[in-house]
Amino acid sequence: MTKDLSSTLKEQLALNYHIKEKSKEDSYYSRLTTILSSDLNFHQQSSRYASHNFHSFPAKFPPQLPSKFILGLTEPGGIVLDPMVGSGTTAVEAFLNGRKGIGFDIDPLAIMISRVKTTPLKEDRLAKIFRRIVKNARKEVQENQHDLEKQLNTQWDTKTKQFIDYWFARETQIELLALVQQILKIEDESYRTFFQLAFSAIIITKSGGVSLALDLAHTRPHKAKVVFSPNGELLYGSKFLTSGSPRLKVLTKKLRPAIEEFEKRCIQNISGLVNNSSRFIPTEINFGNAQKLPLEENSIDLIVTSPPYASNAIDYMRAHKFSLVWFGFPIEELSEQRRKYIGGEATTNYVFESLPESTSQTIQRISEIDEKRGNVLKRYFTEMSRTLKEMYRVLKPDKAAIVVVGSSTMRGMDTATHQCLAEIGEQIGFVVPHIGIRKLDRNKRMLPSGLKTDLNSQIQKRMHEEYVIGFYKPHH
């Protein structure tokens, strides 16, 4: 007779309790518990060192967080994985501390950011290429504007062109195209990608960079209604609009010259370059799905990662396409990719997995009010269950995965993400010794919009917290 899910789960939990008790004296386990229970806020500490600041990225964690677990739980030379690497915070810290970092993501920009941040390059060679790009791009804009205009009309498919024309002033498009053409001439891939990233960083900023968007961090971007050129001439809209409504004043943007912004960004990034050192081990960052990792079982010493929010509150591709289109990614392909992210909204014909009791109840509570949102949450926990199974498979026994998650709400109800993930992990075979709580530094961290407007104060409080779940893989 096959056992039902709840009795299997009870047996698993009893076993986990036994392991928890037995492992209390075990040194790795107790070190893990001590770090999880320590201060994980890092509020007064700067994250603006090494390459951490090369490119903006919503919801990255402070570098001190992965660093604390890497130093406390691995030896030099150890293998540290982040299966949803984002902007590479874990990978950079693994690299700086002489560990081998491995990262995967399904977002092309995340891969680019993480690769550049963990690749040592020669400063003098970069400086030389940088001067050449800027000089030649300026010359092209001055002498060949007509050709650049012509290429702007023929370069992209119709939808991508519509997107670019909507979000970029013609003047900016000309400068950006001149820059891209110079960057794509660089033969050495590592050097070329360094400049591609600096290019992307002048577009994707919280305030929309050199594009006509006013906000790109996490909301649906708004387009500026009144636009002034860098030297103060009115380009679009009417300047009289700004004198009336305060709202329109907010929708006004003064464009910054793209080549000048690129120059400033390159100088800043070159100064944050990670230097070559004999203790560094090359990092491997690749395209890959966290639910099906191309890694051997029992091969990883430590995982430190943070998945997307349960309610798809941060739509990464919405911002990332603003720079990716300039490197030849068709807009439709990018929109298609967006559906594949963990936390995505598409649930038609989706094959869900069975989930443990409390998690199912949380989903049920939301489904009763809104079935569609309930299915979105079910997809999230299904995909996180697959991801946790993969983490369990690739981790060596007696090692841990650290998963940092924020809270989210659906229809005003708490999704209880950290409790559900802990429950799912325990069903897989992990032991969860402790869940650390971090108070978010609202000034530093870009949070999903909507999180500020919750009326329920208990939920509101939790929205300002983040949970650091320790998943320990025992010897069985």
Ligand X SMILES: C[S@@+](CC[C@H](N)C(=O)[O-])C[C@H]1O[C@@H](n2cnc3c(N)ncnc32)[C@H](O)[C@@H]1O
Looking at residue 431, what DSSP letter applies? B
Nearer to ligand X, 107 or 426 (CB): 107
Q: Which of 29, 95, 104, 430 binds ligand X (CB under 6 A)?
A: 104
Least distance in angstroms from the C-beta of 446 to ligand X:
11
For ligand X, the closer of residues 134 and 304 by Cβ is 304
From the list 37-45, 208-216, 283-291, 441-449, the region that binds ligand X by CB under 6 A is: 283-291
Using CB under 6 A as the binding rule, whether residue 474 contacts ligand X is answered as no
The residue with tokens 């809209």 is: 237
Q: Is 107 in the site for ligand X (CB under 6 A)?
A: yes
Smallest distance from ligand X to CB 468, Å? 12
115 touches ligand X (CB under 6 A) = no
Between 30 and 286, CB nearer to ligand X: 286
Q: 56 or 172, CB closer to ligand X?
A: 56
Task: Pick the closer one to ligand X by CB: 173 or 312.
Answer: 312
Q: Which of positions 313-332 make contact with ligand X (CB under 6 A)? A: 316
- Which CB, 341 or 471, lies closer to ligand X? 341
89 binds ligand X (CB under 6 A): yes
HSE (CB half, 13 Å, CA atoms) of 206? 8
Phi-psi region of 413 (alpha: psi -120 to 50; beta: other; left: phi over 0): beta
291 binds ligand X (CB under 6 A): yes
- Could you say whether residue 338 binds ligand X (CB under 6 A)? no
Q: Which among 105-113, 229-237, 255-263, 330-338 is the span making contact with ligand X, rule CB under 6 A?
A: 105-113
**Measured CA distances, 302 to 16, 26, 32, 73, 283 (Å):** 20, 17, 11, 7, 15
In the list 59, 96, 212, 217, the residue contacting ligand X (rule: CB under 6 A) is 59
Phi and psi, residue 80, nearest 5°: -115, 125
Decide whether 225 or 462 has the Cβ nearer to ligand X: 462
* Residue 198 engages ligand X in binding (rule: CB under 6 A): no
**What distance in Å separates the CA atoms of residue 169 and residue 243, rounded to the nearest whole number?**
23
Terminal CA-CA length for the chain: 24
> Please, which residues have CB within 8 angstroms of residue 264's CB and are 6 or more apart in sequence?
none
Yes or no: say if 268 and 50 are a contact pair by the CB < 8 Å rule: no
Check residue 308 for interaction with ligand X (CB under 6 A). yes
Region binding ligand X by CB under 6 A among candidate stretches 80-88, 128-136, 138-146, 276-284: 80-88
- Of 63, 21, 32, 66, the closest CA to residue 45 belongs to 63
Tell me the window of 179-187, 243-251, 284-292, 326-334 that interacts with ligand X (CB under 6 A): 284-292
Stretch that binds ligand X, among 42-50, 103-111, 154-162, 448-456 (CB under 6 A): 103-111
Place of tokens 């971090």: 438
* Tokens found for residue 316: 């990464």
| 390 contacts 291 by C-beta, under 8 angstroms | yes
**Min separation Cβ 438 and ligand X, Å:** 13
Find all residues with CB under 8 Å of 378, minimum gap 6, and list them.
Answer: 347, 352, 355, 363, 367
| 86 is a site residue for ligand X (CB under 6 A) | yes
Total residues at interface with ligand X (CB under 6 A): 23
Torsion angle, alpha carbons of 87, 432, 73, 58, to 10: 10
- Segment near ligand X (CB under 6 A); pick from 118-126, 177-185, 300-308, 347-355: 300-308
One DSSP character per residue, 79-123 reads: EEEETT-TT-HHHHHHHHTT-EEEEEES-HHHHHHHHHHT----H
- Asked if residue 290 binds ligand X (CB under 6 A), the reply is yes
Contact pick of 110, 202, 300, 331 for ligand X (by CB under 6 A): 110
Q: Helix (H, G, I), strand (E, B), or coil: what is residue 430?
A: coil
Q: Looking at beta carbons only, is 306 or 362 nearer to ligand X?
A: 306
- Residue 165 beta carbon to ligand X: minimum distance, rounded to whole angstroms: 27
Is position 401 an interface residue for ligand X (rule: CB under 6 A)? no
Please report whether residue 261 would count as binding ligand X according to CB under 6 A.
no
342 binds ligand X (CB under 6 A): yes
* 106 token code pair: 């399904």
* Residue number, 57 or 430, with CB nearest to ligand X: 57
Report yes or no: 462 and 450 within 8 Å, Cβ to Cβ.
Answer: no
In the complex, what is the shortest distance from the CB of residue 53 to ligand X, in angstroms, rounded to a whole number? 12
In the complex, the smallest distance separating the C-beta of residue 230 from ligand X, rounded to whole angstroms, is: 31
DSSP characters for 267-279?
A: HHHHHTPPPP-TT
**Are 400 and 32 within 8 A, CB to CB?**
yes
3-state secondary structure of 406: strand
The reply to whether 40 sits near ligand X by the rule CB under 6 A is no
Q: Which sign, positive or negative, has the C-alpha torsion 408, 409, 414, 415?
A: negative
Indicate the residue among 93 and 426 with the shorter CB distance to ligand X: 93
Give the binding site for ligand X (CB under 6 A): 57, 59-61, 83-84, 86-87, 89, 104-107, 110, 289-291, 306-308, 316, 341-342
